[in-house]
Structure 1
């Protein structure tokens, strides 16, 4: 679990599509430097969020660490596009007893979104993004949470029909995350608010009458039927 409050920005040392070393496990791997700030209490197997993606540490030193990257992760995120020298957002998994400054972030990327507009506004910047998977739009609401490359941000405008949304980034955030290094056309990892997913799952199950195993008769239909039965008995 993460908060979406980026702790530091690291730098890609290497992205290997096939890492045959013990730490690579004969799969894709990503090596990051400039991470000393978050490695003082690191252990093998720990979770670190890289651009919002929860990944497992397989090797680390004082300033660098390596993680394995599964094919599913590569298909849903922008990690496969990273090149040597690219900056990345880093955050350790949330520790008990710490302040929770952002929102509940799992580190499970839902999809990517494309930056379509960048508009300065005084010392802040507006970003407009088009979501690659329109099915995610019900979970993106005005003034709701969204994690973009692991950064907890507030949604401003939403257009469900055209599958886009906007955020505004203040000056302080601009100096502590990688978003200002991106340009129009770049892809950003997004994770929608998981609480919205849970609410939908529960309410959908209720409305479908899933509590009694029925998959054809909806809960609403049952209520209507009961009302009609009571009316006819009077």
Structure 2
């Protein structure tokens, strides 16, 4: 679990494709340097979010660490765009004494989005994004949380027709994340708010149970409405 509050900006030192044919595809091994400030308490197997992707540390030294990325993660994220020298957001998994200044972030990226606009507003920047996979728009709401490249942000506008949304980034955040380094049309990793998914799932389960249970209020209501409709149709025919 993460907070979406970026701790440090690291640099990709190497990007090596791995032959993982037996597992159904090709993954990559990545080494990230300039990360000494977040490695003081590091252990093999620890989780570190890299641009919002929860990855497992397989090797590390005082300044760098190595992670492996599976084919499934590559499909979901912008990893294919990563190159040597690229800057990335880094955050360690939360510890017991961490304050939650952001929101609950799993590090499980849902999809990617293109940067479609960038406008200055005083000392803030308004960024616009368009989702690759439109089905995730239902989880994005105005004033709700969104995680963009591992950064916890607040949605300020949603356009459901264009499948786009907008955030406002203050000066402090600009100075501590990689977003201002990106260009229009660049891809960013998107993780929607977990609570939206949980609520949707609970509603689905509840509706299914109600429909299958002949004694449930919903089943009785639907039965009554159907009977009333049938009576209306029969009455009109007479």
Length-normalised TM-score, structure 2: 0.87
Using the TM superposition, give the Cα deviation of residue 113 of structure 1 relative to its aligned residue in structure 2, in angstroms: 0.5
Using the TM superposition, give the Cα deviation of residue 227 of structure 1 relative to its aligned residue in structure 2, in angstroms: 8.8
- Judge which range, 201-210 or 101-110, deviates more: 201-210
Q: Which residue of 2 aligns with 1:220?
A: 218
Superposition RMSD in Å: 2.4
In 2, the alpha carbon distance for the partners of 1:218 and 1:148 equals 42
Q: Is the 8 A contact 2:114 2:130 kept in 1?
A: yes
In 2, the alpha carbon distance for the partners of 1:27 and 1:116 equals 29
Q: Which residue of 2 aligns with 1:186?
A: 186
Q: How many residues align?
A: 222
Moved over 4 A (4+): 226-229
Q: Which residue of 2 aligns with 1:151?
A: 151
Is the aligned partner of 1:138 residue 2:131? no
Q: Is the 8 A contact 2:128 2:164 kept in 1?
A: yes
Matches within 5 A, 1:1-234: 1-18=1-18, 27-209=27-209, 214=212, 220-225=218-223
Q: Which residue of 1 aligns with 2:234?
A: none
In 2, the alpha carbon distance for the partners of 1:44 and 1:104 equals 24
Q: Is the 8 A contact 2:27 2:68 kept in 1?
A: yes
Q: 1:19 to 1:84 in 2, by over 3 A?
A: farther
Larger Rg: 2
Q: Is the 8 A contact 1:209 1:219 kept in 2?
A: no
Q: What do residues 13-51 of structure 1 show as CA deviations (whole Å, max 9, x unaligned)?
A: 01111279xxxxx94111100110110000000000000
In 1, the alpha carbon distance for the partners of 2:59 and 2:19 equals 13
Name structure 1 gaps, 5 residues minimum.
21-25, 230-234
Q: Is the 8 A contact 2:27 2:74 kept in 1?
A: no
In 1, the alpha carbon distance for the partners of 2:150 and 2:220 equals 43
Q: Secondary structure at the match of 1:208?
A: helix
Using the TM superposition, give the Cα deviation of residue 223 of structure 1 relative to its aligned residue in structure 2, in angstroms: 3.2
Q: Secondary structure at the match of 1:137?
A: helix
The structure that is helix-richer by fraction is 2
In 2, the alpha carbon distance for the partners of 1:166 and 1:107 equals 21
Length-normalised TM-score, structure 1: 0.89
Q: 1:142 to 1:226 in 2, by over 3 A?
A: same
In 1, the alpha carbon distance for the partners of 2:84 and 2:110 equals 25
